[in-house]
Amino acid sequence: MNLLKNLSSTAKSNFFTYALIVGGYIVIQILSLTGGLTYSLQGLLIPVCAWIIMAISLTLTVGIMGDLSLGHAGFMSVGAFSGIIALISLEAVIPLVGLRVIIAMLTGALCAGFVGVLVGIPVLRLRGDYIAIVTLAFGEIIKNIFTCIYVGMDNAGLHFGFLLSSGISELNLGEGARAIVDGPQGLLNIPNKIVTFSMGFILILAALFIILNLVNSRAGRAIMALRDNRIAAESVGIPVTKYKLIAFAVSAALAGAAGTLFAMNFSTVVASQFNYLASIQVLVFVVLGGLKNFWGAIIAAVLLTVLPESLRFLDEYRLLIYGILLVLVMHGTYSNIIHKLLNFFRSLFPTPDKLEKQ
Amino acid sequence: MSDDRGAKQKTEMVPLPSDSIIPERDLGKMTVLETRHLGIDFGGLTALEDFNLAVGPTEISGLIGPNGAGKTTVFNLLTKVYQPSRGAILLNSRDTCALNTVQVCKAGIARTFQNIRLFSDLSVEDNVKIGLHNQIPYGIWTGIFRLPGYWKYERQAHERAMELLSIFGMANMANSQAGSLPYGAQRRLEIVRALATGPSILLLDEPAAGMNPSETTELMENIVKVRDTFRIAVLLIEHDMNLVMGICEGLCVLNFGKIIAKGTPSHIQNNPKVIEAYLGKQKEEGLAC
């Protein structure tokens, strides 16, 4: 306990975030060993991992950098498509599944990070609400581009096509033909059951490691300085565009890795899955988690992904639940509800002054 | 303020050629900061015209004038928040014409703000560490992967931050949230943060605003201490005449964007143009009622 007392509040919160993830992993593993997991929950494990990564990566943009991004699902789709293309096209070259998955995720992250930089250069010159509007548009643009892309593979290698009027047959695939991306029908023939929950868990840990270390370093302080007071930050010599781009690109890259993870769990994925509703959904996780709280975003992501699925009979009303929750949160932040809840959670953890009282 | 007004009225008003003192003093003097015919227009409005100023190393100078005279505009021009329409700014004899705010800071100008601009959600120590940003040169990957450089530079940054904070007696507040500090401490923290950037000249925009007399006295001591410890020049905007007359070695008075007087505090106190700018024209004797 003494050790915990001496840590700073950020170190405590980071420790709690890691402990939450590791604890959650152990609980799930025990449940699955004892058969306590229902079939539908098992199917949810990897998507939940992906949404957790989305939530913490958007927390970096919205909570730490302070810019509202509504196109985060766009980066997820970049990661999903590029990662899966890499995964399938490397099938013959790298037989080792684990290594291929890692390469696929890295490809997804790099491509999404690159797109993040491209989008970030014009977008981050804007301020406030305009960033939200333009990122929303970019998210939709990325989604629409992916509905026009055709990728196939034959023995000669990869074939790319864009806006083909008569579909993937225009690629004239030769022997050993295999369609990977078929325009509006999205990713096809994704190798099934290639990722495990443990891989998702490791990816979450890696994402947390990158983001928490970034936030608690020189660059992270610079990013938070820009959020708190841009003019003052500039006056002490912090280049605005550079650090905003870094934060945005890291956030996009992690969303890309999450997208790859997400897509690998399904046999087909269409681009329209990554529409603005998905972006808003991730934003709901972040807002519900308390904007700057990584562990809050994680809990919100788990709850809001598992809850609608376990309330399947209400499935059509899923978005209604999101809406009501958002309204409640917005109401709550201006009233006592949140404070009461926070105080309740605080009372669960020992604080220095409480220990002294005892 | 009232004492000050009394002092002015008591002294005999000897007209002085307003521009004759400083240029002589400036001649051949080493300067940290020099402006030549600096001017800026906002649309049709000329906010500053023909502004010439020279600040020597380790000199404490004051920029005074009535509200709206263009004092803060001068600071914003020096730090390149605004680009000057005319004229040149020389920092250590180097033209800062092509530099932006960030580069000007790296070149050696640090400033505080009239309305406090702290990183209020961050801790006091982090605020100072952000000021040290360009002195702790490890890159983003070193930070993410916690390479040896991270630990080395973070320790250095911590030690330096605590050292700077203890100069202003704020070391015990290092872990509090900057926004939760009392007003005077926030002003001091802004100065500490500005000093952390390692400037050769420190611009203070109304450092004593909202302070009580004892806090102001402490601030005056601190400003002199800063100058003596860091061997830097200080240029300050201030309305508190006790502070200005107490510590400034040279003064420059602005009114309507123009310099109306320059000189030592005692000269300025007696300058009729300055008194006119602050108090208005004296009524002719026969009309007084």
Answer whether residue B158 shows pLDDT above 90.
yes
Give the mean model confidence (pLDDT) for residues A264-268.
91
For the stretch B232-254, pLDDT in tens is 999 999 998 889 999 999 999 99
Note every long-range contact of B152-159, with CB atoms under 8 Å and residues 24 or more positions apart, other chains counting: B153/A218, B154/A217, B157/A218, B157/B129, B157/B132, B158/B125, B158/B129
Per-residue model confidence (pLDDT) at position A97: 87
Give the model's pLDDT for residue A129: 87
Residue-wise pLDDT for B194-218, tens only, equals 999 999 999 999 999 888 899 899 9
Q: Inspect the interface and report whether the beta carbons of B144 and A217 lie closer than 8 Å.
A: yes
Q: Across the A/B interface, how many CB contacts are shorter than 8 Å? A: 94
The number of C-alpha atoms within 13 Å of B37 and in the hemisphere containing its C-beta is 3
Distance between CA A286 and CA A293 in Å, rounded? Answer: 8
Structure tokens at B221: 């001591």
Q: Chain A 192-221, CB below 8 Å of chain B: which residues? A: 209-210, 213-214, 217-221
Under 8 Å between Cβ of A212 and A61: no
Contact across the interface for A214 and B140, Cβ inside 8 Å: yes
CB contact under 8 Å between A224 and B121, yes or no, is yes
Residue A163 contacts residue A288 (beta carbons within 8 Å): no
Q: How far does the CA of residue B190 sit from the closest CA of chain A (Å)?
A: 10
The amino acid at residue A77 is S
Residue A307's closest CA among A36, A40, A30, A32? A40
Whether the Cβ atoms of residue A301 and residue A48 lie closer than 8 Å to each other: yes
Of A234-248, A294-308, B25-39, least confident by mean pLDDT is B25-39
Over range B55-70, report the average pLDDT: 90
DSSP A232-278: HHHHTT--HHHHHHHHHHHHHHHHHHHHHHHHHTSS-B-GGGGSHHH
In chain B, which among 125-184 make CB contacts under 8 A with chain A? 126, 129-131, 133-134, 136, 138, 140, 142-146, 150, 153-154, 157, 175
Of chain A residues 8-27, which have a CB less than 8 A from chain B? 8
CA-wise closest residue to B116 among B181, B198, B65, B47: B181
Cα gap B60→B56, rounded to integer Å: 8
Confidence check: pLDDT of B104 > 80: yes
**Are B144 and A214 inside 8 Å of each other by CB?**
yes
CA dihedral B152, B158, B160, B163 (to 10 degrees): -140
Sign, Cα dihedral of B14, B20, B23, B26: negative
pLDDT (average), residues A112-135: 93
Closest by CA position to A58, among listed A135, A173, A168, A111 = A135
Burial of A256 (0-12, 13-18, 19+ CB in 10 A): buried
Mutate to test the interface with A, among B76, B133, B191 (most CBs of A within 10 A): B133
Interface contact B143-A218, CB threshold 8 A: yes
Phi, psi torsion values for A192, nearest 5 degrees = -80, 150
ipTM score: 0.83
Structure tokens at A157: 């290698």
CA–CA dist A25, A208 (Å, integer): 14
Do the two domains B1-108+234-289 and B110-198 of this chain adopt the same fold? yes
What pLDDT digit, counting tens, does each position of B105-147 carry? 999 999 999 999 999 989 999 999 999 999 988 989 999 999 9
Given a cut of 60, is residue A352 above it in pLDDT? no
The mean-pLDDT minimum among A79-93, B9-23, B61-75, B151-165 falls in: B9-23
A305 neighbors A47 (Cβ within 8 angstroms): yes
- Residue A177 reports pLDDT greater than 90: no
Mean pLDDT calculated for residue range A55-61: 95
The pLDDT-based confidence of A115 (bands split at 50, 70, 90) is very high
Q: Is A19 exposed, middle or buried (0-12, 13-18, 19+ CB in 10 A)?
A: exposed
SS3 A101: helix
The band of A188, judged by pLDDT with boundaries at 50, 70 and 90, is: confident
From chain B, pick out residues whose CB is under 8 angstroms from the CB of A230. none
Which of B102, B119, B194 is the closest to A225 by Cβ?
B119
Taking an 8 Å cut-off on Cβ atoms, the answer to whether A229 and B193 are in contact is no
Fold of B1-108+234-289: Rossmann fold (3.40.50)
- Averaged pLDDT of chain A: 86
The pLDDT, as a whole number, for residue B217 is 92
Smallest CA-to-CA distance from A216 within A42, A53, A7, A5 is with A7
Average pLDDT over residues A213-240: 94
Q: B28: which 2 tokens?
A: 């051949």
**β-pairing verdict for B94-95 and B258-263:** unpaired
Interface contact flag, B153 A218, Cβ < 8 Å: yes
> Between A39-59 and A9-33, two packed helices, what is the crossing angle to 10 degrees?
160
CB-CB contact of B203 with B104 (8 Å):
no
Q: Which amino acid is at A312?
A: R
Helix (H, G, I), strand (E, B) or coil at A93: coil
**So what's the architecture of B110-198 in CATH?**
3-Layer(aba) Sandwich (3.40)
Sign, CA torsion A232/A233/A236/A239: negative
Domain ranges of chain B: 1-108+234-289, 110-198
Average pLDDT, chain B: 85
Percent of chain A with pLDDT over 90: 50
C-alpha angle A270-A129-A252 in degrees, rounded to nearest 5: 40
For B47-101, give the DSSP string: EEEEEEEEE-TT-EEEEE-STTSSHHHHHHHHTTSS--SEEEEEETTEE-TT--H
- Quick check: A21 and A208 in contact, CB under 8 A? yes
Question: Does residue A130 carry a pLDDT above 60?
Answer: yes
CB contacts of A214 in chain B (<8 Å) are: 140, 143-144
Q: Which residues of B touch A234 (CB under 8 A)?
A: 101-102, 105
Q: Give yes or no for A33 touching B (CB within 8 A).
A: no
Among A8, A213, A236, select the one facing B143 at the smallest CB separation.
A213
Q: Which residues fall within 8 angstroms of residue B128, CB to CB, at 6 or more apart?
A: B161, B164, B165, B189, B192, B193, B196
| Cα of B131 vs its chain's centroid, Å | 16
Q: What is the pLDDT of residue B13?
A: 37
Indicate which of A13, A235, A251 best probes the interface with B, i.e. most B CBs within 10 Å of its own CB.
A235
Q: How confident is the model at residue A293 (pLDDT cuts 50, 70, 90)?
A: confident
Question: A100 falls in which pLDDT band (50, 70, 90)?
Answer: very high
Q: Which residues contact A23 (CB under 8 A, 6 or more apart)?
A: none
Would the pLDDT of B3 be above 70? no
